[in-house]
Structure 1
Amino acid sequence: MYRFLCMLLLACLAGASLYGADKEKADRCQHFIQQGNRLLWRYEPTQAWEQYHQARLIALELEDDYLYAHALQGLGQAIWYTGRFHEAADTVRLAVKYFRRARAKMDQATALRILSNIYDDIGDYESAFKTTTEGLELYKGSKNNFNYVLSLTQMGALYRSMGDFETALAYYRKAEQLGPTRAEYPYRELYHRMGELYAAMGHTKEAKEFYARALEGNAGRKLVRMRLGNLYLQEKNYDLAFRYFDSLHKEARRITDINIIIGSMLGLGRVYLVRHQLDSALKMAYGSLEHSSQGGARQPRQQAYELLAAIYEEKGEDGKALAYHKQQEALKDSIITDNFRRKMFSFRQEAEAERLKGQRNVLVLCIAGVCILALFAFFIISLRYKNENLSLQQRAAELEMKSLRAQMNPHFIFNCLSSINHFILNEESDKASEYLTRFSRLIRTVLVNAGKTTITLEEELDMLRLYLNMEQLRFKEAFDYSIEFEPGVEPSMIFVPSFILQPFCENAIWHGLLHKDGKGRLNIHFSMKNDVLVCIIKDNGIGRERAASYKSAPVEKVASFGNRLSAERLALFNDDQSGASFITEDIRDNKGDIAGTSVILKIKNKQVHD
């Protein structure tokens, strides 16, 4: 008995000793994690990685899932900050798995929010939506406002990036109602994102006010200063924009902040382009392209291609400009595909959450519509390269393809789906059904005419009316339109380039009429003069000069590519080497003030269907 008691005592002492050793290791592990957090906060990701790596090794030795998950989460963030997005996503995804095993619900939700941000940077929007939605589910019933605010803010940012501003604002307002503590990180991130939203809507004054709140408690925050630089660029205050981008570029290079380096180089390149310092602009554009290509960030890479195309266009090197424009368009195609997936995922999520009448049929029809669009996109790409060996036909095919892409503008399609979604959520089933019917008819019309170089004016106007009626319904009758013919114009007997009118009407609505106070008016008038069809598209909008101040494109010269495209298509159709195919003019009232815009198109009457 005595011997047994002695052995039991020795075992207890040994266990206590082992416990003490494990506790010491756990304390060291937590110390390394805390050190990593501090270094990450100071934006020193390489040094932070070393600390998290040491913590990971200790947690592995202890077989402690909770500490191991924290170490992995820190490693993923450090890798993310150095611009290795896919590796970062894999690491944080593993952290989510170990938090789940450790039953650490709130930590799991935090890791999901971080993972969503990384997916957003990569361009994997469907995964970003899924992870944010999963995180929000975990926060239900929780008092953890800190991370709940951040997750709601992240969801709003995803909706903002796809152009659904109304839903984005709803999420931001919900986050705001949770009362984030002033000047703390959730407060700053919320108002940073709200500033982004209002900047995207063209409300620069409100955007600046939100950005000012986002800088409270951290006046040097680089990402917000980057947004301010872009805002001043949008306002054409190039000197102030340059000061923001230049200071950010110098700071980011010292600490190897890849995301800020890419953004500041793009900003500087755009300013240099406006100043006609083309060599400096090229240096910045190529630098941003190199960094974004290494990290796998598609959105900045697309912007770099777009900038390079604009620079070479300014230099008069049209061959290089077209080559970079093609690369930008090809990358845009893949981003559009992801955007469709993202839009459809969010659409399904919202419809399911509300459990409204008829949701299943609407979803099936929308998914079918997207499948049709995918087939349509495949057809257009095939058409582009079909006659590759014949230079004239190749150029015509490229022009047709780009015109069709302009016709079915992805933002327009996203907004159509958003409108259907909001009609459902507001229990306006009749409007949802009517809108969806028009949307499917428009897609069908595009498919029917996709393979035709020319179509009758009657067919062109059928498609145009569908588009205009949808825009009227979506914008609650914010404008009226009329289509008029002079005697002698027979729409069924006149052939025009396919999808030639809609881009001009869309431009009039979006840049002229929607910014106008009061009712807008769009008039489309046709006449025949010397066997040439003359189409005059007039709007009573705000005019070209004011419309330019609302545009968020980096430089006006980038937008001019679209005008050149339309000019080349009409010149090709008209066999006109001069390219004088359309004219844009301001309309002035009796006092000489701007009262709208007029576009005059001249189309040679060809009585042969292509």
Structure 2
Amino acid sequence: MHRSICLILIYFLFSQPLKADPDKRQDAHHYVQEGNNYLWRFLPLDAWEMYHRAMDIALEIHDEGLLADALFGIGQAVWYNGKFYDAVDTVKLSLKHFRHVGDKGGQGIALRILANIYDDMGDYDNAFKIITEALDYFEGGKNNQNYILSLVQMGNLYKNMGDYETAMAYYRKAEASWPYQDGGYPYRELYHRMGELYAVQGQIREARECYRKSLSGNIKGKIVRLKMGHTYLMEKKYDIAFKYYDSLYKEAKMLTDINIIIGSMLGLGKINLIRNNLPEALSMVEGSLALSSVRGARQNKRDAYELLSAIYEASGDSRKALEYHKQYLLVKDSVISEAFKRKLFSSKQEAEANKLKSQRNILIACVGAIMVLGLITLLATILRHRNEKLRLKQRAAELEMKALRAQMNPHFIFNCLSSINHFILNEEGDRASEYLTRFSKLIRTVLVNAGKTTITLEEELSMLRLYLNMEQLRFREVFEYSIEFEPGLHPSMIFVPSFILQPFCENAIWHGLLHKEGKGELRISFSMKKDVLICVIRDNGIGREKAAAFRSGAVEKGASFGNRLSAERLALFNGENGDASFVTEDIVNEKGEIAGTKVILKIHNKLVHD
């Protein structure tokens, strides 16, 4: 409503042109320049005042070009003050007036700044569309700083989408187009963004070197110092990171630099959480969330929700931890959705650009295809029978594996739900809530991996730990467990059938450890012999013979079914190697007494991830 009134007022004033006063026009230009100076010194409130004075004069003398400059300045000042929605509206209004007076340079700069604001908001779809339009204005403009900055902004968007190779290509193009090592703003922004790209890939040394280049032209640059703090946090150098965040937080509060306040508060919240100073962590993150929410900064909201979930989980408040985790997922999904749409838009643009090229090449491709068609047909005939037999055999194995997983997953989830139901009926509500929180994490992991034939051993053990922690919580720590590896074995480089270990551990707990007097122990160890992973699952339970006496018919049937599924899955995974997939043995102590059960699994290592 407010903006509509302004537009009507502006239209009315400009529809009745008056003779401009040169002195007033000069005053307006002076105020715009003063606003720019304040903005460069990061004094957005003073800049806002100067730009408003310029806008008042522009309206009075009916100078639309001056009005566009003033509105553009106001939009930037509002953006610097962290008010993203207002900034978008104001810069869009300035863009309209730049276009009306035919100011191409003003249009391009306004588009670039608008893309920056959308990027800060996490609105990647709009950011991508706007910066693409800006590049059209500046394309081919060597040494043009707006062209350079537009390339950098496009690279940053690809970085946010996770396409690091394309992001670096844009940064290198910008670097080649701006050869001056003068520490000017394009130079500083380029190396700031390049440092971010290195940091997100874990290349801390390269990131820090880029940040140092960026700081060379502005040693007090707060945003780069904030990113330097992030690198020390990644290296777990918490004292150094704290100094960066704390000094920035104090500086930003004095200048009302909202964006830096939000970032430094998140950093301080992380460090206080790591140090187990939960009240201070909560205060910082809640403050950051409040500032992010009113300004539409979705990325910062996402990070704040994730931290709040971790803080409440650390404090034992599972209900709030789950609540904030749900909020985190909602915001995260919205950001990812926008990034995905932007990716589709990018693909469409590339397809349009390549369309004419494809049409030119299609005739040559057809001629070539005709020439090789005879040879391909001949080779296909020779190989058809051999490949068809192999393909059908492989497809049958895949379908059988999927069918087995389809039977196993409901069985696995049913057991988890039964555990939750038992816990809720027999324990207090807060512990039930904690159990439910852990189950939700487990079930999300199960759903992520459900469509995979194989997963890494690291991923498999992550799910297994979640399950074992749930059972420990339910049965009040009646057993403890450990997972051990022989030296040189790397779980992230070994692939196993998904959900293969949990049924064996479940059998050990339910049929061995729960009937034992005293503390139960579950030991899981891994070793590698040639290309075969050996997993040994040991328990100090009552043994197979006594366990059989406790089982009811239904339970025994379910356990047998689970073992048969596991055996078939391992056999399919291992292929025709001749070795038994797993064996079960009793553990006998020095006195010849049964002291537990041992299951030995043999899993042939496969380097190809499904």
- Provide the TM-score with structure 1 as the length reference: 0.62
CA contact (8 A) 1:282 1:308 kept: yes
- 1:128 equivalent to 2:100? Answer no
Give the Cα–Cα distance (whole angstroms) in 1 for the partners of residues 331 and 514 of structure 2: 32
Residue 280 of structure 1: how far off its partner (Å): 1.2
Give the Cα–Cα distance (whole angstroms) in 2 for the partners of residues 583 and 62 of structure 1: 84
CA contact (8 A) 1:129 1:342 kept: yes
- Structure 1: 5+ residue runs without aligned partners? 1-17, 359-389, 410-445, 447-459, 469-480, 483-499, 506-515, 536-566, 591-595
Residue aligning to 1:240: 240
Give the Cα–Cα distance (whole angstroms) in 1 for the partners of residues 115 and 243 of structure 2: 32
Give the Cα–Cα distance (whole angstroms) in 2 for the partners of residues 587 and 196 of structure 1: 39
* Compared CA separation, residues 584 and 354, structure 1 to 2 (3 A): farther
Matches within 5 A, 1:277-356: 277-355=277-355
Residue aligning to 1:117: 116
Residue aligning to 2:495: 523
Give the Cα–Cα distance (whole angstroms) in 1 for the partners of residues 493 and 174 of structure 2: 39
Deviations 1:473-505 (A, max 9, x none): xxxxxxxx99xxxxxxxxxxxxxxxxx969869
CA contact (8 A) 1:526 1:533 kept: no
Residue 282 of structure 1: how far off its partner (Å): 1.3
Residue aligning to 1:56: 55
Residue 350 of structure 1: how far off its partner (Å): 2.8
Residue 95 of structure 1: how far off its partner (Å): 1.2
| Greater displacement, 322-331 / 236-245 | 322-331
Deviations 1:6-31 (A, max 9, x none): xxxxxxxxxxxx96x52222111110
Residue 61 of structure 1: how far off its partner (Å): 2.5
Counterpart amino acid of residue 340 in structure 1: F
Residue aligning to 1:229: 229
Secondary structure of the residue aligned to 2:495 is strand
CA contact (8 A) 2:161 2:339 kept: yes
- Provide the TM-score with structure 2 as the length reference: 0.62
Deviations 1:555-583 (A, max 9, x none): xxxxxxxxxxxx9xx999x99999x9998
CA contact (8 A) 2:82 2:258 kept: yes
Residue aligning to 1:156: 155
Deviations 1:137-191 (A, max 9, x none): 1112435521111000000000101111011001001101102432000000000
Give the Cα–Cα distance (whole angstroms) in 2 for the partners of residues 68 and 28 of structure 1: 13
Give the Cα–Cα distance (whole angstroms) in 1 for the partners of residues 256 and 215 of structure 2: 22
Residue aligning to 2:37: 38
Give the Cα–Cα distance (whole angstroms) in 2 for the partners of residues 79 and 527 of structure 1: 52
Secondary structure of the residue aligned to 1:464 is coil
CA contact (8 A) 1:464 1:501 kept: no
Give the Cα–Cα distance (whole angstroms) in 2 for the partners of residues 404 and 299 of structure 1: 26
Residue aligning to 1:171: 170
Larger Rg: 2
How large is the Cα RMSD of the aligned pairs?
Answer: 4.4
Counterpart amino acid of residue 319 in structure 2: G
Residue aligning to 2:552: none
Counterpart amino acid of residue 304 in structure 2: A
CA contact (8 A) 1:145 1:180 kept: no
Q: Percent identity?
A: 47
Residue aligning to 1:372: none
Give the Cα–Cα distance (whole angstroms) in 2 for the partners of residues 290 and 204 of structure 1: 31
* Compared CA separation, residues 404 and 54, structure 1 to 2 (3 A): farther
Give the Cα–Cα distance (whole angstroms) in 2 for the partners of residues 339 and 86 of structure 1: 19
CA contact (8 A) 2:142 2:178 kept: no
Counterpart amino acid of residue 73 in structure 2: G
Give the Cα–Cα distance (whole angstroms) in 2 for the partners of residues 184 and 586 of structure 1: 56
* Compared CA separation, residues 607 and 295, structure 1 to 2 (3 A): same
Counterpart amino acid of residue 308 in structure 2: L
Counterpart amino acid of residue 74 in structure 2: L
Deviations 1:527-586 (A, max 9, x none): 999xx7449xxxxxxxxxxxxxxxxxxxxxxxxxxxxxxx9xx999x99999x9998878
CA contact (8 A) 2:322 2:437 kept: no
- Structure 2: 5+ residue runs without aligned partners? 1-17, 360-420, 426-431, 465-487, 540-557, 566-610
Residue 87 of structure 1: how far off its partner (Å): 0.8
Secondary structure of the residue aligned to 2:21 is helix
Give the Cα–Cα distance (whole angstroms) in 1 for the partners of residues 538 and 100 of structure 2: 66
Aligned residues: 428
Residue aligning to 1:95: 94
* Compared CA separation, residues 527 and 79, structure 1 to 2 (3 A): closer
Give the Cα–Cα distance (whole angstroms) in 1 for the partners of residues 173 and 522 of structure 2: 48
Give the Cα–Cα distance (whole angstroms) in 2 for the partners of residues 116 and 347 of structure 1: 19
Residue 119 of structure 1: how far off its partner (Å): 0.6
Residue 105 of structure 1: how far off its partner (Å): 1.2
Give the Cα–Cα distance (whole angstroms) in 2 for the partners of residues 161 and 107 of structure 1: 27
Secondary structure of the residue aligned to 2:180 is coil
Give the Cα–Cα distance (whole angstroms) in 2 for the partners of residues 105 and 601 of structure 1: 74
Counterpart amino acid of residue 283 in structure 1: S
